[in-house]
A and B are shown apart, each in its own frame.
Chain A
Amino acid sequence: MDFYIDYSVITSSLGILFHALGIDLYMTLFSVVLGTLIGLVVAFALVSERRIFRILSGTYVAVIRNVPLLIIVLFIYFGLPDAGFVFSEIPSFIFALTIYAGAYVAEVFRGGILAIHKGVGEAGMAIGMSNLQIIIFIKIPILIRSTMPALSSTYISIFKDASVAAIISVPELTFHIRKINLETFRTIEAWSTATVFYVVSCFLIAFLLRRVERRVAIPK
């Protein structure tokens, strides 16, 4: 059989592929936003003076980070309906990716909290602020700014991890690429296209996050 390259199978489905990429971005956005909120709460629980908070949050992070995302996705997609909670593919996957993202973001934030100079919190106390006010108005704003570089790479990883949704037939990018591969046997064309889509998307996301990072950076 002669080897040749034919991208027509790709160009004819570009619309579908872009739509599929949109689904990845959509799922990522949800998971990143919700995961960041979870991560914030969990991070403060991880460094809490209350033992029970540390145990609960520590268990969550340990379990989620030590289980492959694929297992979490399958567990939630096939397991929850058995327990009476039925979700369609996309919400189910967003749920899985969110709790996965939450654990990673929590660890990033935990490092950021430990890096905040102890005196900054004490200065807040000394001018009469409550612990909650210190967390909301001082620690979180410092945290978001100082961890932005590490958060960015976590967010990009999570975007790539959205491809795992293919396993439960979410019609996202990897799912469609695999479909094209199986239907046309244009293997190289299919997967090289996926590579380009992912590389360009990640590059653009990184570029955007870099701008945010510069904007929120603490002036020196």
Chain B
Amino acid sequence: MTERVLEISKLHKSYGDHKVLNGVDLDLNGGDVISIIGSSGSGKTTLLRCVNLLEEFQEGVIKIDGREIGYSNSKGKRSKVNNKQVTKDRALTGMVFQSFNLFPHLSAAENIMLALRKVQKKSKKESAEIAQHWLERVGLPDRGSSFPGQLSGGQQQRVAIARAIAMNPKLMLFDEVTSALDPELINEVLDVIKSLAVEGMTMLIVTHEMRFAYEVSKKVIFMNDGVIAEQGTPDEIFKNASSERLTAFLKNTRF
């Protein structure tokens, strides 16, 4: 039996009066790949950022491996856990961003090594070996000494994936990771993610690449106005869209 890795229940998040997430429930088992699609402003990125605790949320519970992260509930009173615990909880998930966000002053290998050394306290040698392993894995075996400014967008994003996954997270979060890329660089990044899926990595993917979502996902979620408006297998979502909103959304996207 596969274990439940991520459990999101009744997640609510608002900025002031503006409700962004309005009661989201979502579960991921080990090895699951779930894609989230939807128009901008539907809350998909915010959902991912809540799971990585980059955003606070007012209601709801997020559990990883059965343990609540970010908040604690005792005697019905909900409170934020301390910063140290937030940092620990955050490390359970790996996040890859739309804008790559590599550290510009460090080489590709050093980008991967930094947290291995400072957070996981691994030796320099071991960190370098892990970095090299993942650089090879994302198809950049000889770019370890290159700096982000010397790499193409696709290469930077692959380093960013390597940096996140080298920390050995329970769950990988991908936030529109190809949206900032030139069209000809998109596939090299998607291929890396696909190969991780094949290896059984648990992933939650926000994407505008419909064909990719169709091919890689076990389940696709369509978000609208801060709720999961529809969910199902890729075939159910892309071939047999039932709701009017989803049909309208898919009509306006490339497949």
Interface residues of A (CB under 8 A from B): 117, 119-120, 122-131, 133, 137-138, 141-142, 145, 218-220
Contact = CB atoms under 8 A, between A and B. Distances in A.
Given A122-B97, A123-B97, A220-B150, A130 B83 contact: yes
A219 B147 contact: yes
B90 A137 contact: no
A145 B147 CA distance: 14
Contact of A219 (B102, B119, B150): B150
Given A137-B114, A137-B118, A218-B147, A126 B102 contact: no
Interface residues of B, number: 30
A2 B105 CA distance: 63
B94 A126 contact: yes
Interface in B124-168: 147, 149-150, 160, 163-164, 167
A78 to B, nearest CB: 45
Nearest to B166: A127
Contacts of B167: 127-128
A133 B105 contact: no
Interface in B87-116: 87-88, 90-91, 93-95, 97, 99-105, 114-115
Contact of B164 (A126, A219, A220): A126
Given A127-B163, A219-B150, A220-B150, A120 B104 contact: yes
A191 B114 CA distance: 54
Contacts of A130: 83-84, 87
Given A218-B147, A219-B150, A127 B101 contact: no
Contact of A123 (B91, B103, B147, B149): B103
B54 interface: yes
B149 A218 contact: yes
Most buried by A among B102, B119, B149, B160: B119
B207 interface: no
Nearest to A145: B105
A126 B83 contact: no
A120 B87 contact: no
Nearest to A133: B118
A102 to B, nearest CB: 24
Contacts of A117: 99, 101
Most buried by B among A125, A126, A220: A126
B52 interface: yes
A126 B87 CA distance: 8
Contacts of A220: 147, 149-150
A202 B92 CA distance: 52
Interface string B181-194: 00000000000000
Contacts of B104: 120, 142, 218
A127 B83 contact: no
Given A123-B160, A219-B149, A129 B94 contact: no
Most buried by B among A128, A131, A133, A218: A128
A189 B250 CA distance: 83
Most buried by B among A117, A123, A127, A138: A127
Given A119-B97, A120-B101, A138-B103, A127 B115 contact: yes
